[in-house]
Amino acid sequence: MENILRIVVTGPVGAGKSTFIRTISEIEVVDTDRKATDEVAELKQNTTVSMDFGRLRIGEDEGEMWLHLYGTPGQFRFNFMWDILIKGAHGYILLVPAHLPGQFRAAQAIQSYMKARTSAPYVVGFTHVDHPNAWDLEDILLVLGQDPGIPYTTLNAQDMASVADTLLLLVEQMMPQTVSS
């Protein structure tokens, strides 16, 4: 497996990182979900405490490439895992739950944290945009202070085509950098 692209899927609690990886992975996802025992329990029953790992093959034979997908925990107390997972990553996807405005500040903090540790390309994916409490994307972008040069998309982390489109958007951002390195 020579052609491996390491992709990190990050974001705050409830953004859909584990679901994203489970939806697209060709292997059974390795996860570290545990029962949430803190304020996260108000949002969901289980939470990632270390990482998720999935794998996807694209192309065939000579043009074959493997995407190794690493999902981060969403809580800041596990940021030591963010450091481990982002090191050597070729790119990352920041997922932001449009229906959880209480998590926007966490998304902004994760974005700043990652940008301080890597120059790898990234895209922002907004999840749960169909939820009745979802904010408009323009308002979320303002809260995040989003750089207009960073591509963003909406996605459904449970829909394979939507997840694949998001990965394709990231891979397109990565290609000039990957070819030159």
* Cα(25)–Cα(53) distance, integer angstroms: 9
Q: Are 96 and 124 in contact (CB under 8 A)?
A: yes
The structure's pTM equals 0.86
Look up tokens 């694949």; give the residue.
164
Sign of CA dihedral 27, 160, 108, 45: negative
Please give the Cα distance from 176 to 179 (Å, whole number). 5
pLDDT value of residue 52? 87
**Whole-number pLDDT of residue 103:** 92
Q: Residue 181: its pLDDT value, please?
A: 46
Name the percent of the chain in helix, strand, coil, to the closest 5: 40, 25, 35
Mean pLDDT for back-to-back runs of 10 residues, the chain (181 residues): 85 92 89 57 55 86 85 83 90 96 93 94 96 94 84 96 96 68 46
Domain 4-180: give its CATH superfamily. Answer: P-loop containing nucleotide triphosphate hydrolases (3.40.50.300)
Tell me the domain boundaries of the chain. 4-180
